[in-house]
Amino acid sequence: MKVNLRSVDLNLLTIFNAIMLTGKLSSAAEQLGMTQPAVSNALARLRLTFDDELFMRSRNGMIPTPRANELLEPIRHALSLIENTLDSRADFDPDISSRTFRMAIGDFGETVLLPALLAELSTYRGDLRIRSYPELESVSFELLKQGQLDFYFDFKRPKDERLNACRHTRDELVVIARKNHPRLRNTLTKKEFLDAEHIVLNQRHSGPSLLENILREDSPIPRKAVVEINQYAAVPGLVGSSDCIATVPKRMAEHYAQREAIQILPLPFRVKQSTTYMIWHRGMEKDLGHRWLKDVMLKLAGTE
């Protein structure tokens, strides 16, 4: 049954968060400037609201139930949004924040971008977290339009007036093949490209993939597609174990080449560079945590 927000004291959520952070009612009370009986009473109300014990007493303090662990991330996110909304002058401090950022970056982003982002976040003392969503699924885009995601990455600018965007990265396309390919060594002619068997990305739910859009634009480049896949992550293994080739962004190719026995070849056709856009809901623009993450993302991309 859905909880009626009118019947919920939102102050209870700050008490829930304090108990989760400290693990003790006495410590939570001290942190909040309340008496321990008041915190105990609030916990009783929380249990009624969520129809769950939420915390179990033990020698080591209050142990959260599975339901409490499930509630922690969305409650902290909601409290952070409320705090930033009520005090637009307050700075976002990554050294004390426990925020979870939500982004639809897909498997390309998880492979190339996420490691660099995690390394950056690890330099701060706060409990910063990332939740990744698949950018190919329409549900992720709907979450973005509802202001439920911090960022969504795509290869075209959005047309929805509720959304804003900026260029995140620009990259050239290259071809990858296994290092001991019987016919390809360092260079690739147009004829070799057209004669080769290709691994290509499958159609998206909303139309052709980035690569297909670029390779079909103006002068379509025909290819013998013997395998169609749904995610970038499958490309290096398939290329490395066959005589097939694949066309991918250069940054991705360089990432793969450090781990797989593949060679990078220039694309023997003139095509435009691939551009990735970072997209967000305009309603998030006053959220200082969101603005901080945007600056981090642009710094990592070199487009700050």
DSSP code at position 60:
T
pLDDT in tens, 9-27: 778 989 998 898 888 999 8
For the chain, first and last CA: distance in Å?
A: 46
Whether residues 40 and 178 fall in one domain: no
Whether residues 111 and 67 fall in one domain: no
Percent of the chain with pLDDT strictly greater than 90: 35
Domain boundaries, position 108: 100-168+276-301
Alpha-helical (H) ranges within 210-261 are 210-216, 235-240, 250-257
What is the C-alpha to C-alpha distance for residues 25 and 210, in angstroms, rounded to an integer?
53
Whether residues 138 and 192 fall in one domain: no
Whether residues 182 and 226 fall in one domain: yes
Whether residues 35 and 177 fall in one domain: no
The helix, strand and coil proportions of the chain, stated in percent and rounded to the nearest 5, come to 45, 25, 35
Whether residues 250 and 161 fall in one domain: no
Q: Which of 49, 64, 86 is the last residue of a domain?
A: 86
pLDDT in tens, 154-185: 878 888 889 999 999 888 889 999 999 999 98
pLDDT in tens, 43-67: 999 998 888 999 998 888 889 999 9
DSSP helix/strand/coil, 278: strand
Within-domain flag for 94: no
Residue 101 phi, psi (nearest 5): -90, 140
Task: Name the one residue in this structure whose structure tokens are 């013997």.
Answer: 226
State residue 150's pLDDT score: 93
Whether residues 33 and 78 fall in one domain: yes
For residue 252, name the pLDDT band (cuts at 50, 70, 90).
confident
- The residue length of the chain stands at 304
Whether residues 280 and 162 fall in one domain: yes
CATH of the domain at 13: 1.10.10.10
Task: Name the one residue in this structure whose structure tokens are 């909304």.
Answer: 85
Within a 13 Å sphere around the CA of 263, how many CA atoms are in the beta-carbon half? 18
Whether residues 139 and 212 fall in one domain: no
Number of compact structural domains in the chain: 3
* Residue-wise burial string across 135-148, b where 16 or more C-beta atoms lie within 10 A, e elsewhere: bbeeebbebbeebe
Encoded amino acid at 289, one letter: G
Q: Cβ atoms within 10 A of the Cβ of 36, count?
A: 14
